[in-house]
Structure 1
């Protein structure tokens, strides 16, 4: 199978639209989620909105030095560009039976409760075994996408008494991969100047951890939008992202020249532990 790596520098949701329209498994009945590998929202209270109050940590709880996690939910805020695609986004993150679902991975290492710090890596991933089917009881491993930068943010903020964390990332690449005929097509969707916040908390049975109240803030730059090509379906003529965003006012001046040059992107997320293999 030939792999074409395309430089579709695009907005996260636009890439998800590509995936949602063309992915081979999307012809299944989405109403039958429990039978199609679509994950249930076991950790959705309070719906990942970033406003839930934190319970005290169990007295016997102590954090390990490293955890790997995967986004199980991401939703754009109502004020974010193209937030109306949240349903499609949600479906393609949850349906891990697909060969190429949306996979966003996090690795937290060097967790130091005393120093109040940790190192964070975030980026796109793939199923290590494309045929792994969670709906049949498979425990899927994941791997970093080969196009991911592999960079860590060193010394990110961490409160060992609550699990709250905050990290700035220069970029977080959402790399969308989908099948089109005999080809595997990839779209790299970088979001720049990010801040990730959330609370690393033990699960209800204390068998592991999850990130609750996750919030992502980043930017879609005018420069990226000017060269981004969005292919809405297989064989369709690509569209520039700048055309799709031309009626949406830019909100921020990232280069400090007095003119807004970026769109603010905000959203909430939930992440649970996942096995990441090299």
Structure 2
């Protein structure tokens, strides 16, 4: 039987100039001018064509039928990566490996969207860690993590949404043939943005341009232990994020006491079983 270990908490320039002098008769100038005039005419025609194409493209976008979004969507992240320069970016390779859903205990982040109403511009969103079920393609919330209430967000007719999630427990797993190391990373004040793309009838939703911004406090990171490989001993998350790179004042007292994380993600539709 596979044992699961838990860790809890409450990123020569060279320039050569060649001069060529040639004698030209008076008749050469009109010919050159004619060529220039022809080129100018062609450029004008090309610009006119480009402007026409741009206008047609704009008209096609404006005339596109709006998506009849459903009121509720269950989504699962298919990728997650910290942006270059963000604390935590050093974990990207590990994260990519453990998003593989063929693993017994992959990284699973679920997003539940409810009460979606583009006319009113409102949507409810919550997110958290999930676990596989015995039915392929369906998931449950991880009971070892804190699942928040729905945060009220906004959405427009093009599917662009945003919301601030007060808290999200991100679970990083490292799986070997004999055990699974499971680390719960609490992220706070998660700014959650992206665009839901779907078929005209609202089916087959995806998110391919999502962004996440939130912070982890040093106090929490000091208590979180994470294994970077199946054979390496766990170390404090503070060591991974690097205490010298604290970049956010979470307490508002004028001192840097947290890491502001920036990441991108993609997501597809899934089934969340309550």
Provide the TM-score with structure 2 as the length reference: 0.72
Give the structure, 1 or 2, with the largest relative contact order (CA under 8 Å, sep 6 or more).
1
Further displaced range: 101-110 or 186-195: 186-195
Query: Deviation per CA, 1:231-251, whole angstroms, max 9, x where unpaired?
Result: 334575432222344453211
Q: Distance in 2 between matches of 1:246 and 1:107?
A: 32
Could you say if the C-alpha distance between residues 184 and 92 of structure 1 is closer, same or farther in structure 2, counting changes exceeding 3 Å? Answer: closer
2:184–2:224 CA contact under 8 A, matched in 1: no
One of 74, 87, 99 as aligned partner of 1:81? 87
CA RMSD of aligned residues (A): 2.8
5+ residue gaps, structure 1, are: 14-54, 133-138
CA spacing shift, 1:57–1:91, aligned 2, 3 Å: farther
When structure 1 is superposed on structure 2, of 246-255 and 162-171 the one drifting more is: 246-255
**Which has the higher mean CA deviation after the structures are superposed, 73-82 or 149-158?**
149-158
* Count of paired positions: 225
Q: Contact conserved, 2:174 with 2:230, CA < 8 A, in 1?
A: no
- CA 1:58–1:150: 2 relative to 1, 3 Å: farther
The answer to which structure has the higher helix fraction is 2
Stretches of structure 2 that go unaligned for 5 or more consecutive residues are 12-60
Q: Secondary structure at the match of 2:158?
A: coil
Q: 2:139 aligns with which of 128, 138, 142?
A: 142
**Partners in 1 of 2:174 and 2:238 — Cα distance?**
23
Q: Distance in 2 between matches of 1:186 and 1:170?
A: 22
Q: Does 2:66 correspond to 1:70?
A: no
- Identify if the C-alpha distance between structure 1 residues 229 and 150 changes in structure 2 by more than 3 Å, giving closer, same or farther: closer
3-state DSSP of counterpart to 1:81: coil
Q: Is the 8 A contact 2:76 2:110 kept in 1?
A: yes
Q: 1:73-222 residue pairs with structure 2 within 5 A?
A: 73-93=79-99, 95-129=100-134, 139-159=136-156, 161-177=157-173, 179=175, 184-203=180-199, 207-222=203-218
Distance of 2:165 and 2:251 partners within structure 1 = 17
**TM-aligned CA distance change 1:61 to 1:205, over 3 Å:** closer
Flag the structure with larger Rg: 2
3-state SS in 1 of match to 2:95: helix
Change (3 A) 1:56 1:126: farther
Alpha-carbon distance change, 74 to 236 in structure 1, aligned in 2, over 3 angstroms: closer
**TM superposition score normalised by structure 1:** 0.71
